[in-house]
């Protein structure tokens, strides 16, 4: 019998962080292998945004001003798509839970954060691919990056960060749902008001009272406006210009929202993971 030497558990805060990343990396690898073996999993992350771009650009676009609307639209669709990514996280978590994979992970002496970190990181990689596909699609419908290279990189970075933190909410929802069938609706339902009551597809000043306030402070608005400003896409002409601190500081506000979402939902998700039981 060959002896097995298990790495001694590293103590302290640094050891715990290192283990989160090490174990998180293993789980990320596992999730990406899953995607590689099932490329159809990418359909939701690629075909769906293409459909949104084409439908909004050409079905709604005509009523909203044609080419300027298509240029305006892309920032919104980027924000909406990365937010919708959380629904895939929800389904993925529920699937692992239902199949007993989470039970196995929880019985291993691994970091309590790793399964969540691996899931959200792998979903961020899928999101990055979705952004590439959407950008190409955007270029075809007439969208252009008109700002500097640095701003464009920052624009995509904010989008990915937003998708990443939204995935932590999605992971929590997935564990609460427990079953794939429930997760499939629970993962998407809350996304519709969150993404539509924002500046993703319309100018927020056109919304009635309370919806307008909600839209102005909605992180999706901040992320969409941040993408538009960093990509150098002009506001939609002919509408009242939104104002207020979140609009004037869209990128800063978007990043603050990401931090807030992570700080609130990552601990909640980890706490839920510690107790979660397959149903």
Partner 1 sequence: MGSGFNGVAVRAEGLVKSFGSTRALNGVDLEIPTGQVLGLLGPNGAGKTTTVRILTTLLKPDSGSAMVAGHDALADPEAVRRSIGLSGQYAAVDENLTGFENLYMVARLYGMSRSQSRARARDLLERFRLTEDGDRPSKEYSGGMRRRLDLAGALVARPIVVVLDEPTTGLDPRGRMDTWEIISELVDDGTTVLLTTQYLEEADQLADSIVVIDKGKVIARGSADELKNQVGGERLELIVADPTDLPATARVLAEVGSGHPSTDEHTRKADVFVDAGPKALIEALRRLDAESILVSDVALHRPTLDDVFLALTGHAAEEPVEQKGAA
Distance of CA 81 to CAs 112, 146, 253, 273, Å? 28, 21, 19, 26
* Count of residues interacting with partner 1 (CB under 8 A): 30
Supply the minimum distance, in Å, between the C-beta of residue 107 and partner 1.
4
Is position 43 an interface residue for partner 1 (rule: CB under 8 A)? no
Q: What is the DSSP string of 244-265?
A: SHHHHTHHHHHHHHHHHHHHHH
Taking the C-alpha atoms of residue 269 and residue 175, their distance in angstroms, rounded to an integer, is 8
Nearer to partner 1 (CB atom), residue 18 or residue 252: 18
CB 170 within 8 A of CB 87: yes
Dihedral of CA atoms 110, 28, 43, 215 in degrees, nearest 10, equals 80
Q: Which of 18, 33, 67, 260 binds partner 1 (CB under 8 A)?
A: 33
| Binding letters toward partner 1, positions 116-155, x by CB under 8 A | ----------------------------------------
Supply the minimum distance, in Å, between the C-beta of residue 105 and partner 1.
7
Binding window for partner 1 (CB under 8 A); candidates: 49-57, 101-109, 177-185, 223-231: 101-109
Is position 6 an interface residue for partner 1 (rule: CB under 8 A)? yes
Binding window for partner 1 (CB under 8 A); candidates: 28-36, 57-65, 131-139, 159-167: 28-36
CB 130 within 8 A of CB 45: yes
Residue 2 burial by CB count (10 A; 0-12/13-18/19+): exposed, middle or buried?
A: exposed
* Chain residues that interact with partner 1, rule: CB under 8 A: 1-2, 4-7, 9, 23, 26-27, 29-30, 33-34, 37-38, 99-101, 103-110, 114, 275, 277
């Amino acid at each position: 019998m060959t002896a097995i030497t298990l790495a001694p558990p590293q103590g302290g805060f640094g050891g715990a962080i290192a283990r989160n990343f090490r174990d998180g990396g293993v789980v990320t690898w596992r999730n990406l292998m899953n995607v590689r073996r099932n490329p159809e999993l990418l359909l939701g992350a690629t075909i769906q945004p293409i459909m949104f771009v084409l439908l909004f650009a050409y079905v709604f676009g005509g009523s909203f001003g044609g080419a300027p609307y298509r240029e305006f639209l892309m920032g919104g669709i980027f924000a909406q798509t990365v937010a919708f990514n959380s629904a895939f996280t929800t389904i993925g978590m529920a699937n692992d839970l239902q199949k007993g994979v989470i039970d196995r992970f929880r019985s291993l002496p691994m970091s309590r954060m790793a399964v969540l970190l691996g899931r959200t990181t792998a979903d961020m990689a899928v999101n990055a691919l979705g952004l590439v596909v959407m950008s190409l699609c955007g270029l075809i419908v007439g969208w252009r990056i008109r700002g500097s290279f640095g701003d464009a990189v920052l624009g995509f970075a904010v989008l990915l960060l937003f998708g990443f933190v939204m995935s932590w909410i999605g992971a929590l929802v997935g564990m609460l749902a427990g079953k794939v069938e429930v997760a499939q609706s629970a993962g998407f339902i809350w996304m519709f008001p969150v993404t539509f009551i924002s500046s993703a597809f319309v100018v927020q000043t056109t919304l009635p009272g309370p919806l307008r306030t909600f839209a102005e402070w909605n992180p999706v608005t901040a992320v969409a406006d941040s993408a538009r400003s960093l990509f150098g896409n002009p506001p939609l002409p002919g509408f009242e210009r939104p104002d207020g601190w979140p609009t004037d500081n869209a990128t800063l506000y978007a990043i603050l929202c990401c931090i807030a979402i992570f700080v609130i939902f990552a601990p909640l998700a980890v706490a839920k993971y510690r107790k979660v039981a397959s149903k």
